[in-house]
Structure 1
């Protein structure tokens, strides 16, 4: 059997070096936290902005689809533009989209059966980052086929 080390000086000498290195590391974690916190907050804000951008794209795409469908049901080109604008406005309002400004462009041609109604919705979305220029224009285009069997006006 091995003999246990009963010498107090050797044990003290062994821990003496680690004691001095602990003194040099004191406050390092606090310094790291102070330096990394702004970066973590900035990363979080960018993640929130990308989430809001994705949500804005989905909402504008849905508004464009609804506007195209409404335009395809109209009986005249002017009526189609009015229907498209009203449907897009209603869709954006119901989903809570934060559009500072939006435009609706409807191209329905002659509204012939079998043709298409093409509607483009553009929205200047607020990404919600306080103090930063966080407005971005999102646009989506949707098509809807005009019913081939609908009656004439």
Structure 2
């Protein structure tokens, strides 16, 4: 059985691995930060969609417009707080359509996902995310 003979390094090859590592490391860190940023955006989109769904449902269960707006705002902010989201300054807009039986309520949730803290050098980076959900008002409930 023939074994390949080990190749001997020459003086020219010494230190080339270190140079390659120095050149490749910043690129690998950049790829890692990009993956983290995309993960934060995907997580924020899921949370915004969930908050919009919960706000629309809470509004559809309310008996008055004032109660619908208050409960939708409250549940949306609770959703963001419980999820420890990267979103800042969430805004909730509710369209109750008068809460008439058989109608639909709509909740639109908008927030800004902050990505600037990924590099610790103050690089700006925000993404605005919006989610809308609809929930029907029970057709057989009594009018307020």
TM over 0.5: yes
Asked whether 1:78 is paired with 2:41, we answer no
> For structure 2, which runs of at least 5 residues remain unmatched after alignment?
1-5
- RMSD (Å), alpha carbons: 1.7
Who is 2:104 aligned against? 116
Write the mapping of 1:1-153 to structure 2, written as runs, cut at 5 A: 22-127=10-115, 128-129=117-118, 130-131=120-121, 132-153=123-144
Higher-helix-fraction structure: 1
Tell me, in whole angstroms, the C-alpha distance in 2 between the residues paired with 1:48 and 1:29.
Answer: 28
Q: Could you give the per-residue CA deviations for residues 92-123 of structure 1, whole angstroms, max 9, x where no partner exists?
A: 11111233211101011111111111100011
- Counterpart CA distance in 2 for 1:69 and 1:103 is 17
TM-score for the superposition, normalised by structure 1: 0.82
Name which structure has the greater RCO, CA cutoff 8 Å, separation 6+: 2
Runs of 4+ in structure 1 off by over 6 angstroms are none
Distance (Å, rounded) in 2 between the aligned partners of 1:151 and 1:137: 39
Structure 1 or 2, whichever has the larger Rg, is: 1
How far the C-alpha of 1:76 sits from its partner, in A, is 1.9
Which residue of structure 2 lines up, in the alignment, with residue 3 of structure 1? Answer: none
- Partners of 2:40 and 2:86 within 8 A in 1: no
